Amino acid sequence: MTVAARARIERGVVARLREAPDGRPRREQLPAALRETLVDQRLVIPAGELRLLERWLEDRLFGLGELAPLLRDDRVTEVMVNGTRGVWVERDGRLEETPIRFSDPEEILVLIERLVAPLGRRIDLASPLVDGRLPDGSRVHAVIPPISLVGPVLTIRRFGQRALSPEDLVRNGTVSADGMDYLVRAVRDRRSVLVSGGTSSGKTTTLNALAFAVGDRERIVTIEDAAELRLPQPNVVALETRAPSVEGSGAVDVRALLRAALRMRPDRIVVGEVRGGEALDMLQAMNTGHRGSLTTAHANGAPHALMRIETMALMGGIDLPLEAIREQIRRGIDVVVHQERDPSGVRRIVEIAELSPERGDPYRLSRIYP
């Protein structure tokens, strides 16, 4: 089918959808509108091509347009729209440029609105940044001008249909069997673990896999900015932060959720990522009976991860001496796991280190793996 013919069909379908009694076109009205349009234009299309045409119209009118096929590809884990300059994807761990180009920034704004409006979020000149979680668990982030200088920028991070277990990480080459056995024993022995790494290095995937080792009889409270963790245990309470409303009120951050979690009688607390002052609350939880808790942080290595926890704890707004915070880190964190993504796109655990409770310079780390 030619581009011109497809455009004529699209105009006819849109005209019929606009005739909806309440003025609100619905997805379920599309098949009938398409059939009527084809009859009016005296077009006969084979069944297979008709299904493809209906899917294309559904994506274009109600879905994510040209991005939809990318999101149906199981090998694609991230879709990045750089305004009108191009669309990139991460496929099988590697960045690839796609042939998709948006000619008009308004097209991208429409797609962003379709994503965030059902979530109760908004994006406009007053609020040019938005984060959200889609119904399928994917994470969406959008930025528009004047913050973005290249036009509307949209990033969608997708997650697998099922969470990876410790055995899956061994099969994927993320870590050796011996390394994973050590980590599983550490979690079962209620040792607190910090997973560090850069962006998209697989920290959350590893955190989720380690949480598989927590016993079924334990009560787990998870805290995340955007819910990604999927734990198999029956007694799991999942908490998610909330952005402020249009009026600027109603925000619930990780620190507030950590304080709430302590009142829920948790055996373990799992924080998806510490980014700021909540690091101090997490350390206090680890030092007050919640051994075996798990969290992640951005860092360039195991020693750097501890220094970042220091810095974030100092952002907690409580005037504690640095040495007191370091003592809490030494007594609260037992194992540091550092993960990286290599040039081929494979995510690997490159270091496992035990943190001694004794004073070092300022920490005493013993490398366990590799």
The answer to whether residue 279 scores a pLDDT higher than 90 is yes
**Are 35 and 99 part of one and the same domain?**
no
Tens-digit pLDDT profile for residues 55-89: 888 888 888 888 989 988 988 999 999 999 999 99
Last residue within a domain, chosen from 62, 92, 108: 62
* Domain total in the chain: 3
Supply the CATH number for residue 116's domain. 3.30.450.370
**Are 56 and 199 part of one and the same domain?**
no
**Are 217 and 326 part of one and the same domain?**
yes
**Are 22 and 108 part of one and the same domain?**
no
**Are 40 and 15 part of one and the same domain?**
yes
pLDDT number for residue 19: 82
Supply the CATH number for residue 290's domain. 3.40.50.300
**Are 299 and 352 part of one and the same domain?**
yes
**Are 186 and 280 part of one and the same domain?**
yes
pLDDT number for residue 146: 92
Contact predicate 115/142, CB 8 Å: yes
**Are 200 and 280 part of one and the same domain?**
yes
Report, as an integer, the average pLDDT of 263-280: 93
Instruction: State the Cα–Cα distance between residues 212 and 180, nearest whole angstrom.
Output: 12
**Are 74 and 11 part of one and the same domain?**
no
pLDDT number for residue 308: 95
pLDDT band at 363 (very low <50, low <70, confident <90, very high): very high
pLDDT band at 257 (very low <50, low <70, confident <90, very high): very high
**Are 13 and 36 part of one and the same domain?**
yes
What's the mean per-residue pLDDT of the chain?
90
**Are 269 and 332 part of one and the same domain?**
yes
**Are 311 and 178 part of one and the same domain?**
yes
Tens-digit pLDDT profile for residues 245-254: 767 788 899 9
The answer to whether residue 294 scores a pLDDT higher than 90 is yes
Report, as an integer, the average pLDDT of 165-177: 94
Last residue within a domain, chosen from 157, 185, 216: 157
The answer to whether residue 22 scores a pLDDT higher than 80 is no
37-44 long-range contacts, CB within 8 A, separation 24+: 37/9, 37/12, 37/13, 38/9, 40/12, 41/8, 41/9, 41/12, 43/5, 43/9
Q: Tell me the residue range of the domain where 125 lies.
A: 67-157
Residue 295 neighbours by CB distance under 10 Å: 26
